[in-house]
């Protein structure tokens, strides 16, 4: 068989396998793709994960197909050692490869940038669930619910500046309302990870790290610390609740009353808190 026939045969195998693999990814994997659809940011991430999976699968299948094809078809025959043809390159193929891979990458980067910045219908861009620092490049309009997440070794507490600066040990959010997290830390670097919400933002001492999300379902979500923060890092986990709007208003009203004595002694609400100098030996 000549060179051209080998190439055509391998390419046909690739196309067939790539179509099958993409069908599997599209119809069997994609409906279950993490992190799910609990919030708008989680949905955005799930959608992008699926797009990337559909783009990556044919590329990966292609490399494996041509590799395995070569390994099966071009073996050293028994007998004295034979040399292959002394081919040193192919200008058009090389240029084509450079062009195609660069084009795929540029398309992905341009689409990704658009996803990051664009905010249709007053929503934040797709990356808004990740901590954007004090000056987000993408933020939703309107009047979001502000929640300050204060990390310390080894737990998160939450402050609600729009509700008298009350600070709670547990987190509840109203369904359907955009939340603006302000994540900060008072000792070491932590990371606030609300998995089902598609939110992750590092809690850095002295920094105000903003992340957005809009919960779309009522239910529980996991909270974990995602940055190594010392001895009990593995145990820095909790559950949060997404409540119906009326239920959440009752929850926050109750929290304000129940925590009123403690709220009185809290420092005034600020973007960051500087505690006493760091104690060593934690």
Partner 1 sequence: MSSPEKPTASMPATPPGRNGLLTFNVIWGLVGLVVGYAIGLWIGHRLGSRFDWVAEIDYNDIAVLLGYALGTIGYLAGLGILNHPIARLFGRSAGDVARRTGWGRYARASTDHKVIGNQYLIGIGVFFFIGGVNAMLIRTELLHPTTPTFSPGQYLTIVGLHGSMMIMMVSSIILGPFGHYFVPLMIGSRRMAFPRIEALSFWLLPLAGLILTSTIAYGGFPTGWTGYPTLGSQADIGMDGYLFSFALVGVGMILNALNMLVTVLNYRAPGMTWGRLPIFVWSMLTTSVLMLLGPPMLLAAAFMEVLDRTSGTTFFSAPTGGSPFLWENLFWFFGHPEVYILALPGFGIVLEILPVFARKPLWGYRLAVSGMLGVTLLSFMVWQHHLFVSGINSSLRPFYMLTTELISVPTGFIFLVGIATLWRARIRYTVPMLFALAFFVNFLIGGLSGVYLSDVPSDVTLHGSFFVMAHFHYTIMGGLVFAFFAGIYYWLPKMAGVELNETLGKIHFWTAFVFFNSTFLPLFAVGMLGMPRRTATYAPHLQFLNVWVSISAFLLGGSMLVFLGNFVWSLVVARVPAPANPWMARSLEWQLPTPVPVANFDGPVRILAGPYEYGDPSAPPVLEIGPAVVPSAGD
90 near partner 1 (CB under 8 A)? yes
Cα separation, 218 vs 120, in Å, equals 24
**Smallest separation, CB 248 to partner 1 (Å):** 24
Q: What is the DSSP letter of 176?
A: T
Give one DSSP letter per residue of 35-54, joined into a string.
T-SSBHHHHHHHHHHHHHHH
Nearer CB in complex with partner 1: 83/264:
83
Q: What is the DSSP letter of 28?
A: I
Cα separation, 189 vs 52, in Å, equals 31
Q: What stretches of 214-271 adopt beta strand conformation (E)?
A: 219-225, 237-243
267 near partner 1 (CB under 8 A)? no
Please identify, among the stretches 19-27, 64-72, 242-250, 254-262, the one whose residues bind partner 1 according to the rule CB under 8 A.
Answer: 64-72
21 near partner 1 (CB under 8 A)? no
**Smallest separation, CB 28 to partner 1 (Å):** 14
Q: In degrees rounded to 5, what are phi and psi of residue 196?
A: -65, -25
37 near partner 1 (CB under 8 A)? no
**Lookup: tokens for 220:** 């529980």
Three-class secondary structure of residue 272 per DSSP: coil
Strands of the sheet with 171-174, listed across from one edge:
171-174, 237-243, 219-225, 190-194, 199-203
Which residue in the set 17, 25, 37, 112 belongs to the binding site for partner 1 (CB under 8 A)? 112
Cα separation, 173 vs 157, in Å, equals 14
Which residue in the set 13, 18, 30, 237 belongs to the binding site for partner 1 (CB under 8 A)? 237
274 near partner 1 (CB under 8 A)? yes
Please identify, among the stretches 140-148, 157-165, 201-209, 247-255, the one whose residues bind partner 1 according to the rule CB under 8 A.
Answer: 201-209
Which residue in the set 94, 219, 250, 270 belongs to the binding site for partner 1 (CB under 8 A)? 94
Which residue in the set 27, 28, 77, 78 belongs to the binding site for partner 1 (CB under 8 A)? 77
Residues 122-181 interacting with partner 1 (rule: CB under 8 A): 126-127, 129-138
Q: In degrees rounded to 5, what are phi and psi of residue 95?
A: -60, -40
Please identify, among the stretches 19-27, 121-129, 164-172, 243-251, the one whose residues bind partner 1 according to the rule CB under 8 A.
Answer: 121-129
93 near partner 1 (CB under 8 A)? yes
CB atoms within 10 A of CB 111: 12
Which residue in the set 37, 177, 217, 233 belongs to the binding site for partner 1 (CB under 8 A)? 233
Which residue in the set 78, 86, 120, 267 belongs to the binding site for partner 1 (CB under 8 A)? 86
Cα separation, 255 vs 109, in Å, equals 45
219 near partner 1 (CB under 8 A)? no
204 near partner 1 (CB under 8 A)? yes
- Is the bond preceding 172 in cis, omega lying within 30 degrees of 0? no
87 near partner 1 (CB under 8 A)? yes
Count residues near partner 1 (CB under 8 A): 104
191 near partner 1 (CB under 8 A)? yes
108 near partner 1 (CB under 8 A)? yes
Cα separation, 215 vs 205, in Å, equals 27
Tokens 């030996």 found at = 281
């Amino acid at each position: 068989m000549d060179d051209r026939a080998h190439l055509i045969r391998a390419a046909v195998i690739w196309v067939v396998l790539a179509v099958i693999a993409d069908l599997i990814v599209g119809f069997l994997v994609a409906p279950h793709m993490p992190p799910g659809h609990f919030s708008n940011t989680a949905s955005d991430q799930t959608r992008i994960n699926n797009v990337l999976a559909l783009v990556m699968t044919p590329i990966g299948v292609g490399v494996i197909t041509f590799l395995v094809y070569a390994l099966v078809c071009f073996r050293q025959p028994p007998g004295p050692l034979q040399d292959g043809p002394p081919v040193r390159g192919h200008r058009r193929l090389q240029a084509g490869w450079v062009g195609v891979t660069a084009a795929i990458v540029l398309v992905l980067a341009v689409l990704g940038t658009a996803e990051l910045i664009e905010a249709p219908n007053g929503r934040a861009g797709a990356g808004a669930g990740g901590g954007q620092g004090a000056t987000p490049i993408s933020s939703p309009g309107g009047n979001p619910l502000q929640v300050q997440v204060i990390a310390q070794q080894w737990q998160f507490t939450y402050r609600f500046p729009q509700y008298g600066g009350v600070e709670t040990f547990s987190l509840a959010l109203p369904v359907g309302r955009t939340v603006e997290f302000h994540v900060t830390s008072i000792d070491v670097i932590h990371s606030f990870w609300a998995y089902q919400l598609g939110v992750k933002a590092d809690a850095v001492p002295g920094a105000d790290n903003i992340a957005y999300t809009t919960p779309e379902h009522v239910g529980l979500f996991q909270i974990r610390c995602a940055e190594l923060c010392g001895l009990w890092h593995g145990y820095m986990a909790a559950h949060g609740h997404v409540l119906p709007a009326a239920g959440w208003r009752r929850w926050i009203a109750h929290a304000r009353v129940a925590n009123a004595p403690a709220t009185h002694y809290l420092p005034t609400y600020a973007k960051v808190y500087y505690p006493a100098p760091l104690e060593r030996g934690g």
